[in-house]
Amino acid sequence: MQSLSCKVLVIGAGPGGYVAAIRAGQLGLDTIIVEGERSGGTCLVRGCIPSKALIHAATRFEEINSHRGDGKLGITVTTAPELNLAKMIEWKDSIVDRLSSGVEGLLKKHGVKQIKGWANFKNAKTCHVQTADGEVSITAENVILANGSKATELAFLPFSENVISSTEALDQKELPKHLIIIGAGYIGLEMGIAYRKLGSEVTFIEGLDRLLPIYDKEMTRPIKTWLKKHGINTIYNAKAQGVEDKDGKVTLTYQNKQGEIQTLQGDKVLVTVGRRPNTEGWGLENMCIDMNGAFVKINNQCQTAMNNVWAIGDLVGEPMLAHKASAQGEMVAEIISGLKREFDPVVIPAVCFTEPEIVSVGLTPDEASEQNIEILVGKFPFAAIGKALAMEAGGDGGFVRITSRKDNHLIIGIQAVGAHVAELSNQFALALEMGACLEDLANTIHVHPTLGEASMEAAMASLGHAIHM
């Protein structure tokens, strides 16, 4: 068995792990990273990036179709576009390949040794890795656990060829005529909307009485309108019971709001009921680490109960977001190098790439009121923004909403729903991180014409003098 030692050992080359390893390499720390699959993790390989590529391609297909018949914008398409889903997936995979190779190149550039294989810890600082060339033993002074998460599988709906997770939904070579989706959260909605644009019939089975429960109803109303307009049926207060998979078709049994047992037949059932941390199968039980429910317990520096063992990303709890993992990974590498850091962001932005998109940063009006904060709320519709109208994005009911303290106008929350609002999320986060007040946004000259003008106008609306409303 080959034996290696290092200053920093990183387990998992996802957005938390590879960032931690690159930063450690930049800081001159002897670093090894272990990854059992491809560099990039869930986000790059089977999550954020491939799903956004599929959403983009589906939107392009829908846009081309919208020019058929009488056409629009003075553009008419006389022949219906043809969908080759296998080719679309091939294009999506080429992006993943390029980015995954890029991550490996960056690791190499910064002197990080890459080991391909599965780590199994014998104690807190030593693991054995089974590689293609044999077993390797690695002992480290510092260990960063970035093992990520995986899709939750329901015991009564085990994954199969026709009962799939989001991973398989991103690799379909043939378009399902009818896609049944369990769960109307952000993953289910993103996938369902994309497949509807490609031409699939889509039905959602949601256990609660609303979609996207982490957002308030004002925010989700434009999405609900889009689903209705595009013939997507959402069955609320419904609980999936089981599935019969026969002759290439699936029949889902569910209980409706009235307690009646119903059935629904489709080609595929996509299960999107959340994700759970990867805590099994790699020796966590041998590391003397405390747990916080299903997650690894950490402090504000991502330290575990074991000295010099750190944990980041999905492994340590919500929010399970790539950008949170990356920020934690960078911080931990700097702490190991001797810098003084702690993980204490004012906000962690959340984005839903639905139709239209949703952004939430900080507190909503309801959350602020629950904390007995006296607030001002300003809202401005994209229907009054010239750039939105010029790009056919003003009619979806979208808006920017700003929540601030009434006493000093400190901004404590910004939400937006509308086309391309994900691109505004960083401005929103910066405003809260820097402690901006309404006057800061209102008096900052915003470029015209841009969607970002809605942020300025929403701040002005809070102060009682929006110009274009």
Please name the fold of domain 350-462: Enolase-like; domain 1 (3.30.390)
Q: Which CATH architecture has domain 163-273?
A: 3-Layer(bba) Sandwich (3.50)
Q: Residue 247: what pLDDT?
A: 80
Across the beta sheet with 261-266, the strand order is: 239-246, 249-255, 261-266
Active site residues: 448
**Tokens at 172, concatenated:** 């379909």
Measure the CA–CA gap between 291 and 13, rounded to whole angstroms.
22
Give me the torsion for CA of 194, 196, 197, 198, rounded to 10°: 90
Can you name the CATH fold of 2-149+277-336? FAD/NAD(P)-binding domain (3.50.50)
Q: What is the pLDDT of residue 104?
A: 96
**Is the model's pLDDT at 338 over the cut of 90?**
yes
Q: What is the mean pLDDT of residues 245-251?
A: 86
pLDDT, one tens digit per residue, over 58-115 is: 999 999 999 999 999 999 999 999 999 999 999 999 999 999 999 999 999 999 999 9
pLDDT above 90: residue 8: yes
Q: Do domains 163-273 and 350-462 have the same CATH topology?
A: no
Task: Copy the structure tokens of residue 395.
Answer: 């009619």
* pLDDT tens sequence across 403-426: 999 999 999 999 999 999 999 999
Given this model, what pLDDT does residue 469 score? 85
What are the boundaries of each domain within the chain?
A: 2-149+277-336, 163-273, 350-462
214 pLDDT tier (thresholds 50, 70, 90): confident
SS3 for 84-150 is CHHHHHHHHHHHHHHHHHHHHHHHHHCCCEEEECEEEEEECCEEEEEECCEEEEEEEEEEEECCCEE
Q: pLDDT (tens digit, 9 = 90+) per residue, 112-148? A: 999 999 999 999 999 999 999 999 999 999 999 999 9
pLDDT > 70 fraction of the chain, expressed in percent and rounded:
100
For 196, residues 6+ apart whose C-beta sits below 8 A from its C-beta are 202, 230, 231, 232
Using pLDDT thresholds of 50, 70 and 90, give the confidence band for residue 248.
confident
Q: Edge to edge, what strands does the sheet with 233-235 contain?
A: 163-164, 268-271, 178-182, 201-205, 233-235
Give mean pLDDT, residues 152-157.
92
- 455-468 per-position pLDDT tens digit: 999 999 999 999 99
In tens, the pLDDT along 31-49 reads 999 999 999 998 899 899 9
